[in-house]
Chains A and B, each alone.
Chain A
């Protein structure tokens, strides 16, 4: 078992641990990995290598483009048939493994999320092409379920044999008269899941957003982007917005429907939670319709309050502001009471986090609230802007992998009723007062001096970090969970929440505090060492069968 360290006087310079980590790598690998590790200084700009290929042979946390596209963005949408074109594995593994909860309006309303649909390609489809089978599968799906939309996802072999999922989708859309569209999200196409998010964003924007120009409903209309309803997070946020009188038109994409995506361009404001996975849609909506976006964060009580206030400030309506303040006061009192009870037990504990896009950042708020210290963190599939802030976007080198992803040219809508001059004016006016739109400061400015930032952390690095920092808690995913726990360090899965949650909003903060108490105050770890280990003098002098 590891002995804990005390960092109350500040974090140590992590350079020695960086050197130790890379000493084991072949020199080319070492050179590359070193650029992905930075001793943080919140005062200065430092580039972090991000969104580059993982080195072959390295045990990484990352998944593939398909996982980002099918799993993350389209997966949580219940009223569409997501058909995976490929051999069975890809569809099998993305079958109900992401915990995006969904609640259809009625007992019989459409919900395909419990199903896994695949063309289950066989040998002969690889040799002779799978387009005929794909078409037939679409027909069969239509016949059986009569859905309003079908999304088709390409997996690795599909791209190689040249099946054109877009052409097939176009043909079938014409034949069946429902919305059918494809995604070229083959796993090899990008560096990580991130490419899949981008491809999914493009696809949804092209084929769904703007299909239904229904008239506005409600006084204050927003979309929540990058909220995937893991463990019911979106339910908690829906509760808050509803009470405040804000209409949540669409959530991308948790407890969501393609139906709502189709009229999501009728809102006044987009609130982006996970910047990496979905800022593209926000940008495209702004270019096409003039709808501004802000970065929001609903992880932690104070972040939730801050984001709610920011939304209310945008609408600048006295009644709304009053209502929001009322909710915040009531909910924060509950949060504070639980925090006061738990904080003394966990204060000063050390956490590290290597997860997804936004979670490695947002969860630091919760730890801060509990007086815990994040000693090291990094993303699995971020780009430099997620670390350093959006101001570095112009400096980011465009490499072959990025060039691979179709860049949509978005132009201003020619429907004058849909172009929001009023919002453009409002944005300009608020910006003058210092209100920040289209802004994300990134993770590093929030992190302490000398905390260690690592992009695309590998298994070897994880082991070394645990040895060096002896953290009290490690946050990552299922592949890391038991590895870390075998060393006597509890691991919190921040992708699935270990089947707990919700952790968003005020209720979520309370749940998370309690979870930290459970994990950090438990006696379980004291059971690991056997009692006879510390009393070696217990040696038998009498043996049976001697």
Chain B
């Protein structure tokens, strides 16, 4: 028993988090910044956080993750980190020559009250930022929100810094992506292209965190949204933002600063959420939905009808980020599965409201919790009280799955013990097909392994 001390009996906990279903802001800020071309993330704090965040991203993507740090001393912790950041900016431009340095704070620099805006302004005034180069900054205190909040804050800062409204409107749509895989970024571009819409996708980690092996290390790989693209976002016709927790601030900033209106949508996971995404794109770009998209959708629905008996009534426990969990629950309900337990460490008041919308009169069949004290320990306790047929979440769910002998679908961040997530999308109709394929593989494998010999099926 890996988690031998977990019992089904719950006590009321107010102070202790055990096995968190979230992590801290800076890692999200780092990931978002990597989706901008020529950008070097910079962690303003002690070097430990930067090291941890780089390691976490590297283990998940199996790719180089570059980022610099202010390497605080005890002195900087007392007197402020301005000198460290100014020196860092100078060192970075001369040694690593990025186009952009994207600075995010840590709980250390936040606690001492470093004002990143003011320090960056000083760096510019002191001539530490070469012509044509940029330093952007985002405040990402780790005692507020989660890794998703950090992603949100950095994304907002990116569009705020670059997008400019000119007199020349552009026939293009801004696409703001929540925290999804490079494969999903690529899928979003494929769908837009199929629809004949010119989009600016930000961030875009495809070709950055799934870079090919060429025998040459590139500090700034081919991918990422470029500066001219970012600038042009202020002139777009519309913004389509997917994943409220990750993109809302950026969408609002584009609206406020550049008068680009936005649609706030779920991540296109499953049939209905993808439907809403396609409709929003088609309206935003004023284009009809091409038949090829109908056909992809039809293939997904066909698969559901063909395999419905295996989904029907199966109980599922899920943990992860709200932006994934909400449309995923909706999708599972469409399959007639039962999302029985849902946990996210990421706070956000609308979570409960959205769950109620999605579940409707089925809301009583789900136990859910989000926010600072929602953790995987409690999810496990619920599972011990009444079991489930499938567990969905990041790699850390493995220990629960092994102890309780539950089929386990890896989705979310981080996935450090399997590959595929960065190469095969789970967004869109094709992504839906992949999710179903994975679920069916797991459920059928489980059935095979647990059937008496005479009941093993050849055809399913």
Interface residues of A (CB under 8 A from B): 1-2, 24-26, 29, 53-67, 83, 86-97, 107-108, 110-112, 114-123, 125-126, 133-137, 139-141, 143-145, 155-157, 159-161, 187-189, 192, 400-401, 404, 459-460, 463, 477-479, 481-488, 525, 528-529
The smallest C-beta distance from B360 to any residue of chain A, in angstroms, reads 32
A2 to B217 Cα, complex, angstroms: 11
B111 at the interface (CB under 8 A from A): yes
A477 to B64 Cα, complex, angstroms: 12
B47–A87 touching, CB < 8 Å: no
The smallest C-beta distance from A482 to any residue of chain B, in angstroms, reads 5
> Interface centre among A404, A482, A528, by most B CB within 10 Å?
A482
Chain B residues whose CB sits within 8 angstroms of the CB of A463 once the complex forms: 217
- Chain A residue nearest to B144 (CB atoms) is A123
- Chain B residue nearest to A159 (CB atoms) is B77
A111 to B146 Cα, complex, angstroms: 28
Which of B22, B71, B141 makes the CB contact (< 8 A) with A56?
B71
Name 14 A/B residue pairs within 8 A (Cβ), A-sorted: A56-B69, A56-B85, A87-B143, A92-B22, A108-B1, A116-B20, A117-B17, A144-B16, A156-B49, A160-B108, A187-B47, A460-B95, A482-B63, A483-B64
A188 to B24 Cα, complex, angstroms: 18
Other than the known A25-B94, A136-B15, A187-B48, what 10 A-B pairs have Cβ atoms closer than 8 Å? Answer: A24-B94, A57-B92, A67-B52, A88-B345, A89-B23, A93-B23, A93-B52, A95-B396, A116-B18, A161-B111
B74 at the interface (CB under 8 A from A): yes
B77–A479 touching, CB < 8 Å: no
B429 at the interface (CB under 8 A from A): no
- Chain A residue nearest to B42 (CB atoms) is A57
Interface residues of B (CB under 8 A from A): 1-5, 11, 13-20, 22-27, 42, 45-49, 51-56, 58-59, 62-77, 84-85, 87-92, 94-96, 106-108, 110-112, 141-144, 146, 211, 213-218, 345, 372-373, 377, 396, 399
A55 to B70 Cα, complex, angstroms: 8
B19–A116 touching, CB < 8 Å: yes
A56–B91 touching, CB < 8 Å: yes
A478–B58 touching, CB < 8 Å: yes
Chain B residues whose CB sits within 8 angstroms of the CB of A528 once the complex forms: 213-215
> Interface centre among A26, A156, A400, A463, by most B CB within 10 Å?
A156
Chain A residues whose CB sits within 8 angstroms of the CB of B24 once the complex forms: 87-90, 92
Chain A residues whose CB sits within 8 angstroms of the CB of B88 once the complex forms: 56-57
Counted as pairs of residues, one from A and one from B, with CB atoms less than 8 Å apart, the total is 265
B215–A64 touching, CB < 8 Å: no
A62–B47 touching, CB < 8 Å: yes
Chain A residues whose CB sits within 8 angstroms of the CB of B218 once the complex forms: 486
A92–B73 touching, CB < 8 Å: no
Which of A66, A126, A486, A488 makes the CB contact (< 8 A) with B64?
A486
The smallest C-beta distance from B128 to any residue of chain A, in angstroms, reads 11
The smallest C-beta distance from B394 to any residue of chain A, in angstroms, reads 11
- Chain B residue nearest to A94 (CB atoms) is B52
A26–B90 touching, CB < 8 Å: yes
B1–A107 touching, CB < 8 Å: yes
A89–B4 touching, CB < 8 Å: no
Chain B residues whose CB sits within 8 angstroms of the CB of A25 once the complex forms: 91, 94-95
Chain A residues whose CB sits within 8 angstroms of the CB of B22 once the complex forms: 88, 92
The smallest C-beta distance from A231 to any residue of chain B, in angstroms, reads 15
> Interface centre among A1, A2, A64, A126, by most B CB within 10 Å?
A64
The smallest C-beta distance from B259 to any residue of chain A, in angstroms, reads 33
A61 to B373 Cα, complex, angstroms: 33
- Chain B residue nearest to A141 (CB atoms) is B16
A522 to B377 Cα, complex, angstroms: 43
The smallest C-beta distance from A200 to any residue of chain B, in angstroms, reads 15
Which of A58, A160, A477 makes the CB contact (< 8 A) with B71?
A58
Chain B residues whose CB sits within 8 angstroms of the CB of A87 once the complex forms: 24, 107, 141-143
> Interface centre among A83, A144, A189, by most B CB within 10 Å?
A144
B215–A119 touching, CB < 8 Å: no
A88–B85 touching, CB < 8 Å: no
A401–B26 touching, CB < 8 Å: no
Chain A residues whose CB sits within 8 angstroms of the CB of B47 once the complex forms: 54, 60, 62-64, 187, 192
Chain A residues whose CB sits within 8 angstroms of the CB of B377 once the complex forms: 115
The smallest C-beta distance from B382 to any residue of chain A, in angstroms, reads 15
